[in-house]
Amino acid sequence: MKVLPRQLHCFGGIFDWDNANLRLEELDAITSDPALWEKPESAQALMRERTSLEKKINDLNAFLSQLDDIVLLIEMGEAESDEETIVEQHEALKQLSIEVQKQQLLALLSGEADMNDCFLEIHAGAGGTEAQDWAEMLLRMYVRWCDKHGFKVEYIEESTGDEAGLKSVTIKILGENAYGWLKTESGVHRLVRISPFDSSARRHTSFSSVWIYPVIDDSISIEIEDKDLRVDTYRASGAGGQHVNKTNSAIRITHLPTGVVVQCQNDRSQHRNRATAMDMLRARLYELELRQREERASEVEAGKTEIGWGYQIRSYVLQPYQLIKDLRTNEETSDTQAVLDGDIDRFLEASLATKLNGEGI
């Protein structure tokens, strides 16, 4: 049995050992310079990259060590005709293979912004209260997923429905690889169920749009001219105590060349809301550029999948049967309640696996 080389076969060349070590040495030199900490945000971003890269290298070292041990024990078992040891080590090899597959997926989180925090927007589609309730269900699903993975959630903007649910909501998700894990969730999510708002108990179909874009730091320059912006102020709505509906503190910014719209109402200060909205706008424009680059790079590939506004990516059927199916990867499950409670890892992993080998796990 052959031990894997430094550029691991099991990672399909995704993780380049030599380049990783060179980058780690480069980061060690950069982060040891006291002048770096004059810009705390940039320093923290570099430290996060260093920590993540060091962990990947240590994990791969551990895999190589385990593999060497397994190979040695199998060879000894064969030499001594010890079937129990051989069977035991083949089982250990299977378990190691499962762990390697997980690392394959993590190795794919190496895009420009994959390590970053992210913004998540949800907008209810046409359909009034039914669609707005679906938007709130999606928010609950993502917040519960964040809780399970130790990610922090901050509410940026929330527009409540007239009777129930949400017309729109924006949250900020903070945690390592938040954008990398969630970026493929952008698109239209479709719900089929017996409506709790229909006295005749008829089946309804509802749509809500989800949009994910990365939080960017000062190291990424996004030029935005004042003449390209339209800034509107309005009174905050929804929960918020005495402050709500008394001052025009909420901010909506429209980027005229692209039509991108962002809004923020989570702070009492109009100035702080404007600063947050500008951060969101820079992030949206950066994400737009990343997406355009990816589309240009893959436009010659057969079966190219567009993931964007107005494109249905997943169907959640609760009636007349129970099935949630991702229409891009064909990943599906009948455990609908678990998914709506935040258990969406199987869909996130399938999307990453599609990038790895062109098809789901």
pLDDT digits (tens, 9 = 90+) for 155-186: 998 888 888 899 999 999 999 889 999 998 99
pLDDT attached to residue 17: 63
Q: What radius of gyration do the chain's Cα atoms show?
A: 24
Confidence of residue 9 (pLDDT cuts 50, 70, 90): very low
Prediction pTM value? 0.67
Which of the residue ranges 81-95, 143-157, 196-210 would you say has the lowest mean pLDDT?
196-210
Which pLDDT belongs to residue 355? 65
How high is the pLDDT of residue 6?
39
Q: Which range is most confident: 59-68, 257-266, 292-301, 313-322?
A: 313-322
Residue 241 pLDDT: 41
pLDDT range class, residue 327, cuts 50, 70, 90: very high
Distant-in-sequence, close-in-space partners of 102: CB < 8 Å, separation ≥ 6: none
pLDDT score recorded for residue 294: 65
61's CB contacts (< 8 A; 6+ apart) are none
Lowest mean pLDDT among 93-102, 114-123, 318-327: 93-102
Average pLDDT over residues 27-47: 79
Handedness of CA 80, 82, 88, 94 (dihedral sign): positive
Q: How confident is the model at residue 286 (pLDDT cuts 50, 70, 90)?
A: confident
Q: In what order do the strands lie in the sheet with 250-255?
A: 229-234, 250-255, 260-264
For 19-33, 242-256, 282-296, which range has the lowest pLDDT when averaged over its residues? 242-256
**Res 189 pLDDT > 50:** yes
CA distances from 253 to 25, 157, 234, 250, 277 (A): 42, 13, 11, 10, 7
pLDDT at 344 over 70: yes
Q: What is the Cα–Cα distance from 19 to 49, expressed in whole angstroms?
A: 14
Across all residues in the chain, what is the average pLDDT? 80
pLDDT at 40 over 50: yes
The CA–CA distances, whole Å, from 113 to 215, 251, 259, 286 equal 8, 26, 23, 9
Q: Lowest mean pLDDT of 107-111, 146-150, 249-253, name the range.
A: 107-111
Q: Identify the structural domains of the chain with CATH numbers, from first to last.
A: 9-107 (1.20.58.410), 118-357 (3.30.70.1660)
* 229-282 tens-digit pLDDT: 888 887 776 554 434 444 567 888 898 888 888 888 877 788 888 888 888 888
pLDDT attached to residue 348: 92
**Which residue has 């950069």 as its token pair?**
30
Asked if 215 and 279 count as a contact pair (C-beta separation under 8 A), the reply is yes
